[in-house]
Structure 1
Amino acid sequence: MIRSMYSGVSGMRGFQTKLDVIGNNIANVNTAGYKAGRVMFKDIMSQTISGVTPPGDNQGGINAKQIGLGVEIAAIDTIHTGGSAMTTNRPLDLRIDGDGFFPVRLSEDQEVPFLTRAGDFHLDADRNLVTSDGMFVMSSDGANIQLGEDVTSFTISETGEIIAKINDGTTSATGTFIGVVKVPNPEGLEKMGGNLYRSTPNSSPDGEVTITNANNGEVGTGAIISGQLEMSNVDLTAEFTEMIVAQRGFQANSRIITTSDEVLQEVVNLKR
């Protein structure tokens, strides 16, 4: 009876965490570049009442008798599937058609850049390419991207190269490529908030990242599509279905606790 009560408590805690993750997914259904989370469960160590008996000459084998002690969180995964494309026709709205990330940093002193899939970039007063939070977007050679004063307009190719139109009316390739990073294990990245990820030793060796250019077939970074944004990959139908499952699971585990309490009450009432 006590075991069943604690098993119910562990189940309620697990489904509460699942509801927390589902709520965060639904809240970010319209966040550019957001990747949905998923909760996975695993059972807690079982209590063995009797061990295994191997088969003999005169008797067959007997299986062990074990009672499970509840459930715990096995993992909270980040699902890095591609989100749908939203066409904006804005030159500085960029989408990576592949598995790469945009590298951004707070200052030139930052050695390991942050990573993001949200490509809603802007130009500041110094004509630096920055994120909505003012972080510098890095080029393929690891430098900040700054447009010259003579550039009146520009386009961005699939390789991430900036094609500038000069004030004299000519158009030329600048040789500056927007950087892209390919991470061996994207699920190992740490979420930082603000659509940012931080590299960890489980996402890449020693947490280091290598910046390259887009549409790199050898690395598999994917092409850069200008005029589009990658939207959240949250599937509302799946999230609402999982919400129902979590709600019913929470209710069922609460019923285990109340039933165990009623049985314990009957035991207490035996002595009157």
Structure 2
Amino acid sequence: MMRSLYSGVSGLKNHQVRMDVIGNNISNVNTHGFKTERVTFQDMISQELSGASEPKDNIGGINPKQVGLGSLIAAIDKIMTQGSLQTTGKNTDVAISGEGFFVVKNGDKEFYTRAGAFNVDKNGYYVNPATGVKVQGWNARRDEDGNKFINTASSVEDIVIPLYSKEPAKATTNVDFQSNLNAAALAVPPDATDEEIQKYINDPDPNKRRGHLTSIKVYDDQGNTRQLEVTLWKVRENTWKAKFNVSDSSQLSIDVKGTGGENTQIPGNVELELGFSPDGRIVSVSDGVDSMAAGKLNAQVTMRIDGNPTPQSFTMNFGDAGLVNGVTQYSSDFTTKAVNQDGYPMGYMEAFSIDDTGTVTGVFSNGVRQPLATIAMATFTNPAGLNKVGDTMFSYSLNSGEANIGEAGLAGKGKINAGLLEMSNVDLSDQFTDMIVTQRGFQANSRTIVTSDQMIQEVLGLKR
């Protein structure tokens, strides 16, 4: 009878723990990133009244006689399933769709969380504003050419988002040309003066034009705007001349890259010669000293600006030899223009966005978009083995495995969604069902204790 008392007591205790876990789950039904838990039971050690015996010639085998001594809590498991995503519209909020955790640090202590209600503090750190822990990732660096890059193979660090910081001006280093020169145009006479060339190019009748004028803004190393003008006219079959001028430049030189030659002239007289195949593909470029007829066809322009002793160079790209990805010559209207250049003036960072790889991109007042940082994600072989440390955070345990930290979307890691938060994965219907079952189990075990006590009272009454 004493055994049944202790069995009932163990059942009461275990069902109380199960009720505690259910209560905690329900309490966190609206906690972002919370993972529900469940309690599983197992039977306690059994007392053996008699052992088993094997079958014999005249009698069969006998099973052991054992009395169980109650129940134990086998495990309190974390259910790491995906919670639903809630739209917040706040660009600093992030949620994970798939496997993984955000990595945060408090000093040297590293933690992991699915709750992405982050913000930017006064010093520009990307943090959890409720606890102050700093979100980890990789900040952008500048290479030798001044271009920003993010090295996700390095160690993680505190992410900094420098709102309203300055982006220095960048001098133009590349200008790309595309589209078409009209193959049907007549050649300009070789003895034509500059004025006559301009008349041929600007003829009001499009069918009589023998050339084309295009321009694009380029930038010096202080961010000043310069106008690059390119005049193109036909000189003979499949051959065109190109003349260049940069506003406010005192001297220009041109060099067909890869040859080492240089053709220095006064602005407005710097020329190139473009050659085309009969089927309209660009095949060569020459500066009058050297030429190229294979690979990428380009030329380097170097200019000097009054008041700035340092010359500035940029590359003009006309396309690949034998291909149609640059300037072409077909019997269609003139459409050749400089379509792209990579310089810009100084600007201030005004906003930022986060894409599904976790890359934070800054938007500057000069129209430039630059990568600022990438949010790190961690995965574990056994995420259910992590320790809960409060504040909806987890820490490494001996059975979770080491953190595998990398970019979102790679090596089994989920994607990052900005402007959303992951809700708790607690299912109230399951919790209330478990609550009813737990209550009944608690009541049944209490009846075991009461009944065992009554039986003991009966035994004590035998002496009367």
Task: Please report the TM-score for the alignment, with normalisation by the length of structure 1.
Answer: 0.94
Q: CA deviation at 1:210?
A: 3.1
Q: Hey, which of these two has a bigger chunk of strand by percent?
A: 2
Identical counterparts, % of pairs: 48
Q: Gapped runs of 5+ residues in structure 1? A: none
Runs of 4 or more consecutive aligned structure 1 residues displaced over 3 Å after TM superposition: none
Q: Does 1:214 align with 2:408?
A: yes
User: Aligned partner of 1:41: which letter?
Assistant: F
Q: Take 2:403 and 2:381, find their aligned partners in 1: how far apart are those partners? A: 10
Alignment of 1:113-152 (within 5 A): 113-132=110-129, 133-140=131-138, 141-148=155-162, 149=165, 150-152=348-350
Q: CA deviation at 1:46?
A: 0.4
Which residue does 2:147 correspond to in 1? none
Q: Take 2:365 and 2:124, find their aligned partners in 1: how far apart are those partners? A: 15
Q: Take 1:171 and 1:118, find their aligned partners in 2: how far apart are those partners? A: 28
Larger Rg: 2
Q: Take 1:212 and 1:56, find their aligned partners in 2: how far apart are those partners? A: 65
Q: Take 1:187 and 1:209, find their aligned partners in 2: how far apart are those partners? A: 13
Q: Take 1:151 and 1:271, find their aligned partners in 2: how far apart are those partners? A: 93
User: Aligned partner of 1:6: which letter?
Assistant: Y
Q: Take 1:260 and 1:147, find their aligned partners in 2: how far apart are those partners? A: 67
Q: CA deviation at 1:183?
A: 0.9
Q: Does 1:85 align with 2:279?
A: no
Q: CA deviation at 1:209?
A: 2.1
Q: CA deviation at 1:263?
A: 0.6
Which residue does 2:437 correspond to in 1? 245
Please give the root-mean-square deviation of Cα atoms over the aligned residues, in Å: 1.1
Q: Take 1:5 and 1:212, find their aligned partners in 2: how far apart are those partners? A: 54
**Which deviates further from its counterpart, 161-170 or 225-234?**
161-170
Q: Take 2:349 and 2:55, find their aligned partners in 1: how far apart are those partners? A: 84
Q: Does 1:191 align with 2:393?
A: no
Question: Residue 5 of structure 1 aligns to a residue in which SS?
Answer: helix
Q: Take 1:223 and 1:211, find their aligned partners in 2: how far apart are those partners? A: 14
**Which deviates further from its counterpart, 146-155 or 180-189?**
146-155
Question: Residue 139 of structure 1 aligns to a residue in which SS?
Answer: strand
User: Aligned partner of 1:24: which letter?
Assistant: N
Q: CA deviation at 1:167?
A: 2.8
User: Aligned partner of 2:27: which letter?
Assistant: A
**Greater relative contact order, per chain length (Cα 8 Å cut-off, separation 6+):** 1
Question: Residue 74 of structure 2 aligns to a residue in which SS?
Answer: strand
Question: Residue 137 of structure 2 aligns to a residue in which SS?
Answer: coil
Q: Deviation per CA, 1:182-213, whole angstroms, max 9, x where unpaired?
A: 11111110000001100112101xxx423211
Q: Deviation per CA, 1:83-128, whole angstroms, max 9, x where unpaired?
A: 1110112111111111100000012xx1x51000000100000111
Q: CA deviation at 1:173?
A: 2.7
Alignment of 1:145-184 (within 5 A): 145-148=159-162, 149=165, 150-174=348-372, 176-184=373-381
Q: CA deviation at 1:172?
A: 2.6
Question: Residue 363 of structure 2 aligns to a residue in which SS?
Answer: strand
Q: CA deviation at 1:158?
A: 0.7
Match of 2:446 among 254, 260, 265: 254
Q: Hey, which of these two has a bigger chunk of helix by percent?
A: 1
Which residue does 2:331 correspond to in 1? none
Number of residue pairs the alignment of both structures matches: 263
Q: Take 2:8 and 2:386, find their aligned partners in 1: how far apart are those partners? A: 32
Q: Take 2:412 and 2:440, find their aligned partners in 1: how far apart are those partners? A: 42
Q: Gapped runs of 5+ residues in structure 2? A: 139-154, 166-347
